[in-house]
A and B are shown apart, each in its own frame.
Chain A
Amino acid sequence: SAVISQKPSRDICQRGTSLTIQCQVDSQVTMMFWYRQQPGQSLTLIATANQGSEATYESGFVIDKFPISRPNLTFSTLTVSNMSPEDSSIYLCSAVGGGDTEAFFGQGTRLTVV
């Protein structure tokens, strides 16, 4: 099974600023994803992080607000830009290996925007 490390685990940020979240997987994976979990809610997919190319965003999420990078098979970053209190959520990185392996998740980044 893959182990996913996310940094930071939590942060409190001022509105209008940006935060970059890092996701490191300990083995090569096929797919990497970013999810958002708003308070008391389920997980919502933000985007699929594509290696070496632009991420694929879900409806309601745009690159200008959530730029994503994936420079190699094991690392990805998500930036939450120009933050507002509505961005206060847990952001989770997920990865899937080759074949029909289960998805693994990081512990999440708990973001509070004040």
Chain B
Amino acid sequence: DAKTTQPPSMDCAEGRAANLPCNHSTISGNEYVYWYRQIHSQGPQYIIHGLKNNETNEMASLIITEDRKSSTLILPHATLRDTAVYYCIVRVYGSARQLTFGSGTQLTVLP
């Protein structure tokens, strides 16, 4: 799986959009970008994934650059409950394999 790079921490004001970047410059053509988050004292939770088109679900939006070397997870209206460590992971589509976690980004939503 390709390596990802994320900033170690970010702050966001409650109610504002949180934009979490991820670099994955060595991503290959059959690798998807996945995002998980881990709220303190809980197991990781799946958020969203995508290949090259922008994706949106009830939790977040995923914007992937045209060259697929980076992506941004957007939480449109961050709440205090969104405070968590966010992990960007690259893996091959359809492979029921383990996830390789990097260090992630600690997002703190401030009141």
In the complex, per-residue mask of B57-72: 1 if CB is within 8 Å of any chain A CB, else 0? 0000000000000000
Once bound together, how far apart are the Cα atoms of A48 and B96, in whole Å? 11
Residue of B nearest to A10 (CB): B41
Once bound together, how far apart are the Cα atoms of A30 and B41, in whole Å? 26
A111 to chain B, nearest CB (A): 13
Given the interface pairs A42-B102, A42-B104, A102-B49, the reply to whether A108 lies near B96 with Cβ below 8 Å is no
Given the interface pairs A102-B34, A102-B49, the reply to whether A43 lies near B96 with Cβ below 8 Å is no
Does chain B have a CB within 8 A of A52? no
B34 to chain A, nearest CB (A): 7
Given the interface pairs A42-B87, A42-B101, A45-B100, the reply to whether A104 lies near B46 with Cβ below 8 Å is yes
Residue of B nearest to A107 (CB): B43
In the complex, per-residue mask of A26-47: 1 if CB is within 8 Å of any chain B CB, else 0? 0000110101000000111100
Once bound together, how far apart are the Cα atoms of A96 and B95, in whole Å? 10
Once bound together, how far apart are the Cα atoms of A109 and B53, in whole Å? 37
- Across the interface, which residues of B come within 8 angstroms of A108, CB to CB? 41-43
**Chain B contact residues, CB within 8 Å of chain A:** 34, 36, 41-46, 49, 87, 93-104
**Chain A contact residues, CB within 8 Å of chain B:** 4, 30-31, 33, 35, 42-45, 48, 92, 94, 96-108, 110
Q: A44-B101, A45-B98, A106-B43 are in contact. List 13 more A-B contacts (CB 8 A).
A: A42-B101, A42-B103, A45-B99, A94-B44, A94-B98, A96-B96, A100-B95, A103-B44, A105-B43, A107-B41, A108-B41, A108-B42, A110-B41
